[in-house]
Amino acid sequence: MCGIVGYIGAREAAPILFEGLSRLEYRGYDSAGLAVFDGSATHTLRSVGKLDNLRQRLAERPLKGHVGIGHTRWATHGRPSEVNAHPHAAGPITVVHNGIVENHLALRAGLEARGHVFKSETDTEIFSHLIREKASEGRALPEAVRVALNEVRGSYALLVFSADEPDLLVAAKNASPMVLGLGEGEMFLASDVPALIAQTREVLFLHEEELVVVRREGYTLMDFDGQPIQRASKRITWTPAQAEKGGYRHFMLKEIYEQPRAIADTLSGRVSLERGEVRLEDVHLSAAEAARINRVVMCACGTAWHAALVGRRLIEAATRIPVEVDVASELRYRDPIIDEGTLFIAVSQSGETADTLAALREARARGARVLSVCNVIESSIARESHDVLYTHAGPEIGVASTKAFTTQLVALQLIALHLGRLRGALSDEAAGEILAELTHLPTLIEALLAVDEHVQGVARRAMHARDFLYLGRGPQFPIALEGALKLKEISYIHAEGYAAGEMKHGPIALIDEEMPVVVICLKDDQYDKTLSNLQEVRARDGRVIALATEGDTEIAALCDEVIYLPPVSETLAPCAAVIPLQLLAYHIADFKGTDVDQPRNLAKSVTVE
Ligand code: AGP
């Protein structure tokens, strides 16, 4: 996610802003910038790449003044570049923003029709022109911001400064975090506590749809209707290191809890429930091109490969095109059958995995149309694809992939629906039903996270096992693979995912009272058969940990542990089932004291074959 900082006080703003941005570096970014008002004009510096480049610019051209804003950008709309870096300005108005403006295309068209000239490709620049327009109609900055926000749809943390009213800053929050730091005769704003913890520990977190007007000596908090809000500030007791994790013990746990927001951001601006339509801004496949696809080949590594396995079912169900999935390191060495009739889908969080990139190049060389699902804008895999669908999960710091995985599942569902509609293989009604369920997913996952406390107990009781077996059927087989991968890569306990129906063809020889067997046994169309597999484990004194559907009391008598999930449709079931498995792996590793965020021998992006 992007980083935001703001300062107003008696000290020089630039050093304070820069230090704040440097404390947000862990969030991942690809460009940065500052804007400072020197008493007569606003001066802005922006740079691509690491903060050292901005430091260099500042050394060459110091910014003087006592009020300013700053930003580290993690690109979602528009490539990483100086022109797209924040802050963005229109006349006296300068803004920095974190989040996604869903209706930015419509707003931009209207503003351009009214004579506004845009300089960047970003959705953020909308705010500067819109607020300038409202201010030019005679409104003070706070009211101009408030009125402008009524026209904006999406998720944002926004910080605004005007050279015409240099004694204040205005910040607004809707879904993306914004925090106010209270000092003595000075105030600080930031998208996250680490950026201001060196300056003050007295903070006020903005809630949804709130706006705050900040002056040196104080602040006024209000809602988006302009109604004042009274709320006491809080004292932060975190250490700076804890603060980077938002108070969570590890980035991995933070990212597990970020999944509702990450999924909402990945869906944002891409779903039209009324028309049962999907809008994929960087996928330019025409209906004619979609009609010519006779095979889909999906390719990835690790967790992304598990996502592709789930995606296969989704795409085949929506399009009736045969789909093949392979790990990247195998695909390109088997003289794959790929040609002009093939749609090649590469899935990669980092967009830099060498095996996946090499397989993509092979597919392109054989004439395939290449569509990639990536979480990093302008990454190598994204750049070398004909089309790309970005997951908006924000930077994933923990090596073990969590929010990237669930947003990949959502992205692949969107691709399946888009292809099905393009090919006329999916009715409006069927697409509409699936989309309606998808938009419910963030709420479902939010509720599911409540299982965390129970899972901690299960983890405590299972943490000393030497081996685990994970079993799942149908769409839950890839989730069994993913649950096993999560456990082994962060706890160093051997774990194996298996198709439940395959257990009796070998792994059943492993069953004994020492080995926990995690069985995903939700109330779906394969429940009875999976329950039989569970009973086969039980009959051999295996330790059964079941993922079950709330209300299924029968299964409890057959297990040592049950983790209940709310009833969920087949569409959402894989996304739901993986949450407790992420938490189980996390807590076992945390109890064992391994380096959860940086497990031994592992890299976040494997850029070698
Ligand atoms: C998953 O937790 C691992 N970090 C690893 O398997 C990862 O999924 C794999 O290396 C692929 O990475 P990518 O998605 O960046 O291509």
Ligand 1 atom 6 nearest Cα: 302
Contact assessment for residue 581 and residue 303, using Cβ atoms and an 8 Å cutoff: no
Contact criterion met (CB below 8 Å) for 128 and 94: yes
Query: 300 CA to middle of ligand 1, Å?
Result: 9
Spatial CA neighbour of 134 closest among 109, 107, 156, 153: 107
Instruction: Tell which atom from ligand 1 comes closest to the C-alpha of 300.
Output: 16
What is the best residue among 403, 406, 412, 606 to mutate for testing ligand 1's pocket, by most ligand atoms within 8 Å of CB? 606
What percentage of residues in the chain have a pLDDT greater than 70? Answer: 100
Identify any residues that bridge with 517 across adjacent strands, giving them in sequence order.
469, 544
Output the pLDDT for position 221: 97
Residue 175 has pLDDT above 90, yes or no: no
> What's the CA-to-centroid distance between 306 and ligand 1, angstroms?
10
Checking if the pLDDT of 437 tops 80, the result is yes
Q: Tell me which of 301, 389, 391, 486 to substitute to probe ligand 1's pocket, judged by most ligand atoms within 8 Å of the beta carbon.
A: 301
d(C-alpha 410, C-alpha 391), whole Å: 8
Q: Which H helix or E strand runs over 561? A: strand 561-565
Q: What is the mean pLDDT of residues 279-303?
A: 95
Ligand 1 center from residue 602 Cα (angstroms): 10
Long-range contacts of 558-564 (CB under 8 A, 24+ apart): 558/531, 558/534, 559/519, 559/534, 560/516, 561/458, 561/461, 561/462, 563/451, 563/454, 563/455, 563/458, 564/451
Cα 435 to chain centroid distance, Å, stands at 19
| pLDDT value at residue 276 | 78
What the block records as the tokens of 384 is: 């070398």
* Residue bearing tokens 């070698």: 608
- Amino acid (1-letter code) at residue 389: L
Question: Which atom of ligand 1 is least distant from the CA of 399?
Answer: 4
Distance (Å, whole) CA 95 – CA 128: 6
- 187-237 per-position pLDDT tens digit: 999 998 889 989 999 999 999 899 999 999 999 999 999 999 999 898 887
Report which ligand 1 atom has the smallest distance to the Cα of 400.
2
- Calculate the average pLDDT of the chain: 94
CA distances from 517 to 140, 474, 592 (A): 63, 18, 19
Nearest-CA residue for ligand 1 atom 10 is: 302
Ligand 1 pocket list (CB less than 6 A): 301-304, 348-350, 353, 356, 399-401, 489, 605-606
Which residues are marked as active site?
2, 604
Q: What confidence tier does 589 reach under pLDDT thresholds 50, 70, 90?
A: very high
* Ligand 1 centre distance from Cα of residue 83 (Å): 31
The protein residue with its alpha carbon nearest to ligand 1, atom 16, reads 348
36, 42 contact by CB (below 8 A):
yes
Which pair of tokens denotes residue 262? 């990450």
CA distance linking residue 384 with residue 388, whole number of Å:
9
Mean pLDDT for 34-44 is 97
* CA distance linking residue 367 with residue 590, whole number of Å: 47
Rounded to 5°, angle at Cα 609 from 345 and 387: 20
Q: Which of 401, 405, 486, 492 to mutate to test the pocket of ligand 1 (most atoms within 8 A of CB)?
A: 401
CB 276 within 8 A of CB 428: yes
pLDDT for position 1? 64
Residue corresponding to tokens 């820069």: 18
pLDDT digits (tens, 9 = 90+) for 527-552: 999 999 999 999 999 999 999 999 99
What is the DSSP pairing of strand 494-499 with strand 467-472?
A: parallel
Q: What tokens does 294 get?
A: 């006779």
Over the stretch 317-346, which tens digit does the pLDDT of each residue have?
999 999 999 999 999 899 999 999 999 999
Say how many C-beta atoms besides its own lie within 10 A of residue 138's C-beta.
Answer: 8
Model confidence band, residue 602 (pLDDT cutoffs 50, 70, 90): confident
347 touches 379 (CB < 8 A): no
Q: For position 395, what pLDDT does the model report?
A: 82
Average pLDDT estimate for 444-457: 97
Residue 389 CB contacts under 8 Å (≥ 6 apart), including other chains: 280, 282, 283, 371, 372, 373, 374, 411, 414, 415
Using one digit for the tens of pLDDT, what is the confidence trace for 464-498?
Answer: 999 999 999 999 999 999 999 999 999 999 999 99
Mean pLDDT of the region 95-110: 92
pLDDT of residue 447: 95
Measured from the CA of 604, which atom of ligand 1 is nearest? 4
Ligand 1 centroid to 208 CA: how many Å?
Answer: 33
Atom number, ligand 1, closest to the C-alpha of residue 486: 2
> Which mutation among 329, 349, 402, 479 tests ligand 1's pocket best, with the greatest number of atoms within 8 A of CB?
349
Residue with CA closest to ligand 1 atom 4: 400
- The atom of ligand 1 lying closest to the CA of 302 is 6
Residue whose CA is at the smallest distance from ligand 1 atom 3: 400
Query: How far, in Å, is the centroid of ligand 1 from the Cα of 11?
Result: 45
Residue nearest to atom 7 of ligand 1 (CA): 302
Q: How far is the CA of 20 from the centre of ligand 1 (A)?
A: 30
Q: What is the mean pLDDT of residues 377-400?
A: 91
Q: CB neighbours (10 Å) of residue 286?
A: 9
pLDDT at 239 over 80: no
Q: How far is residue 19's CA from residue 13's CA, in Å, rounded to a whole number? A: 10
Q: Is 476 exposed, middle or buried (0-12, 13-18, 19+ CB in 10 A)?
A: buried
Task: Give the pLDDT band of residue 75 (cuts 50, 70, 90).
Answer: confident
The amino acid that residue 531 corresponds to is L
Spacing, Cα 326 to ligand 1 middle (Å) = 14
**Residue 41 Cα to chain centre, angstroms:** 37
pLDDT tens digits along 497-527: 999 999 999 999 999 999 999 999 999 999 9
Q: HEC states along 566-587?
A: CCCCCCCHHHHHHHHHHHHHHH
For the CA of 381, the nearest atom of ligand 1: 16
Ligand 1 centroid–CA 479 distance in Å is 15
Helix segments in 449-572, DSSP class H: 452-462, 477-491, 527-538, 553-556
CA–CA gap between residue 264 and residue 281 (Å, rounded): 16
Mark 306-345 as b/e (b = at least 16 C-beta within 10 Å). bbbbbbbbbbebbbebebbbbbbbebbeeebebeeebbbb
Our mutation pick for probing the ligand 1 site, out of 345, 350, 601, counting the most ligand atoms within 8 A of Cβ, is 350
CA of residue 347 to ligand 1 center, whole Å: 10
Q: What is the per-residue pLDDT across 128-148, written as a single tens digit (0 to 9) for each?
A: 999 999 999 999 999 999 999
- Which atom of ligand 1 is nearest the CA belonging to 350? 15
